[in-house]
C-alpha cells in the first residue's frame, strides 16, 4: 500500500503556535491581543438566546448579519461575506486565486497565517523587507511578477502595531497590476483614530481586485466565537461564496455579531480603554529604557538589547504570572509583544518588567 502523502509543500508548513498560557493561575494573559475588557455583553446575551434553536441550521447567507454590517459601516450587504474567523477568509482567498507556481507577496514580519494559507495551496511565499517596522510599498511593488496572485498587507500590522497611510495605500494599489488581489487585513482597524489611516473599505468599493478582511475577535472581544467578514467587489465575493462552506457561520455567532454591532457603549468603552492604556504602556515601558514601536492597535512590540535578554524577560514575567508573546516566528527574536490588558494586568506587568530591568544580577545573566 502506498503511504499517505499530503500535497507538495504541506509538510513544509510550520504549524501556527498560539499565544501561551500554561495554566489558568496566570495574572495576565497578554499574548494573543484579546479584549482587555472581556466580551461584548450584548453579544454574550444574544449568543445565549440562540441556544434554544440549536437544532436548526444557521442562515447560510448570514443575511441579517450582513445587513447589520452594511448599515454599521456604510457598505452594500451583497458585497459582504461572513466567515468563521477572518483567518478562514485568508485561506479561502488563497484557495480561490493561488496554486502551484503562483506567488503570494507579504512583508517579512507579517502575520503567520499568510505563509500558512499560501503554502497550504501549494503557492510560493515571496517575502519582502519591511523598514522601521512598517510595510514597505516600494518593496512590495518591486516584487510583483506575472506569477503574483495575491498581496497581503495588515493595517494596523500585527505584530508591529504600525499602519499603512492613506497615501501609501493609494500608491500600492495604483502600482499593482489587475491580475493581483490586494488583501487588506484590518483585524485591528476598529482601534484606529489617526486621520491619515485608511481602512481600505472605500478602495474596495470601487476596485475589482481588493478584499478587506475584518474580525469580531479583537475590539468586540469575541475571539472564541470565530466570526469575521470581508468586503470586496461583486466578482471576488461571488468566488468566495462558491468555495465557502454552505453553513460556514453558526447561528449563535451570527446573532452575537448583530448584537455586537448594536452595542455602541461597549465599542466606545473598548476604544477608550485602549487609547488610555496603550499610551500608558508605551510611555512606562519606554521609560524603562526599552524601545517600544509606536502602535495604533491593542498591543505593543517591545525591543530588547538581545535575544537572550528578551527570552530572560519572558521567563521572568512568566514566573510572575504574565504571559507575553515571543516573536521568534515573526523574525523578531529580540522582541516581545504585549497586549493591552485590564488595569491591574497593565500595572502588574509594568511593575514586573521594572523588577526585571532593575534585577541585581543583571550583568551576569
Ligand X SMILES: *Cc1c(COP(=O)(O)O)cnc(C)c1O
Residue with cell 466606545: 268
Q: Minimum distance between the CB of residue 46 and ligand X, rounded to whole angstroms?
A: 18
DSSP state of 309: H
Q: How many angstroms separate the Cα of 76 from the Cα of each of 79, 201, 231?
A: 6, 11, 9
Q: Minimum distance between the CB of residue 154 and ligand X, rounded to whole angstroms?
A: 5
Asked whether 139 and 129 are in contact (CB, 8 A), the reply is: yes
- Cβ proximity to ligand X: between 90 and 350 the closer is 90
Closest listed residue to residue 13, CA positions, set 133, 128, 86, 94: 94
Q: Minimum distance between the CB of residue 50 and ligand X, rounded to whole angstroms?
A: 19
- Cβ proximity to ligand X: between 82 and 292 the closer is 82
Residue with cell 469580531: 216
Cα separation of the two ends of the chain: 54
E strand or H helix that includes residue 302 = strand 299-303
Q: Minimum distance between the CB of residue 101 and ligand X, rounded to whole angstroms?
A: 26
E strand or H helix that includes residue 314 = helix 307-319
How far apart (Å, rounded) are the C-alpha atoms in residues 94 and 90?
7
Asked whether 291 and 335 are in contact (CB, 8 A), the reply is: no
Q: Minimum distance between the CB of residue 261 and ligand X, rounded to whole angstroms?
A: 15
Q: Minimum distance between the CB of residue 87 and ligand X, rounded to whole angstroms?
A: 3
**φ, ψ at 170 (rounded to 5°):** -65, -40
Q: Minimum distance between the CB of residue 33 and ligand X, rounded to whole angstroms?
A: 6
Asked whether 305 and 334 are in contact (CB, 8 A), the reply is: yes
- Cβ proximity to ligand X: between 321 and 331 the closer is 331
- Cβ proximity to ligand X: between 79 and 218 the closer is 218
Which residues of the chain form contacts with ligand X (CB under 6 A)?
33, 85-87, 111, 154, 158, 185, 187, 215, 217, 223, 228
- Cβ proximity to ligand X: between 116 and 239 the closer is 116
- Cβ proximity to ligand X: between 217 and 233 the closer is 217
- Cβ proximity to ligand X: between 253 and 284 the closer is 253
Amino acid at each position: 500500500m502506498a503511504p499517505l502523502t499530503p500535497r507538495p509543500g504541506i509538510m513544509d508548513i510550520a504549524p501556527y503556535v498560539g499565544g501561551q498560557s500554561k495554566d489558568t493561575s496566570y495574572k495576565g494573559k497578554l499574548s494573543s491581543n484579546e479584549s482587555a475588557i472581556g466580551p461584548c455583553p450584548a453579544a454574550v446575551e444574544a449568543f445565549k438566546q440562540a441556544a434554544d434553536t440549536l437544532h436548526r441550521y444557521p442562515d447560510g447567507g448570514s443575511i441579517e448579519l450582513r445587513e447589520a454590517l452594511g448599515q454599521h459601516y456604510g457598505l452594500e450587504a451583497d458585497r459582504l461575506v461572513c466567515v468563521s474567523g477572518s483567518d478562514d477568509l485568508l485561506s479561502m482567498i488563497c484557495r480561490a486565486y493561488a496554486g502551484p507556481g503562483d506567488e503570494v507577496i507579504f512583508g517579512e514580519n507579517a502575520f503567520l497565517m499568510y505563509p500558512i494559507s499560501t503554502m497550504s495551496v501549494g503557492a510560493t511565499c515571496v517575502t519582502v523587507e519591511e523598514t522601521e517596522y512598517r510595510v514597505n510599498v516600494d518593496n512590495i511593488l518591486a516584487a510583483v511578477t506575472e506569477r503574483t496572485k495575491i498581496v497581503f498587507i495588515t493595517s494596523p500590522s500585527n505584530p508591529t502595531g504600525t499602519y499603512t497611510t492613506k497615501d501609501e495605500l493609494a500608491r500600492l494599489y495604483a502600482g499593482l497590476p489587475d491580475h493581483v488581489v490586494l488583501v487588506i487585513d484590518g483585524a485591528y482597524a476598529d482601534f484606529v483614530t489617526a486621520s491619515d489611516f485608511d481602512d481600505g473599505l472605500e478602495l474596495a468599493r470601487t476596485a475589482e481586485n481588493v478584499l478587506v478582511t475584518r474580525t469580531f475577535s479583537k475590539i468586540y472581544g469575541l475571539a472564541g466565537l470565530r466570526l469575521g467578514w470581508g468586503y470586496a467587489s461583486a466578482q471576488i465575493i461571488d468566488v468566495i461564496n462558491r468555495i465557502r462552506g454552505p453553513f460556514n457561520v453558526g447561528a449563535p455567532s451570527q446573532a452575537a455579531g448583530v448584537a455586537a454591532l448594536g452595542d455602541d457603549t461597549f465599542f466606545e468603552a473598548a476604544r477608550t480603554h485602549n487609547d488610555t492604556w496603550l499610551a500608558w504602556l508605551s510611555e512606562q515601558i519606554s521609560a524603562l529604557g526599552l524601545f517600544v514601536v509606536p502602535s495604533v492597535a491593542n498591543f505593543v512590540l517591545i525591543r530588547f538589547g538581545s535575544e537572550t535578554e528578551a527570552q530572560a524577560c519572558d521567563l521572568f514575567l512568566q514566573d510572575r504570572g504574565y504571559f507575553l508573546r515571543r516573536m521568534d516566528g515573526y523574525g523578531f527574536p529580540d522582541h516581545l509583544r504585549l497586549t493591552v490588558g485590564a488595569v491591574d494586568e497593565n500595572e502588574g506587568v509594568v511593575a514586573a518588567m521594572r523588577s526585571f530591568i532593575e534585577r541585581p544580577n543583571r550583568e551576569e545573566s
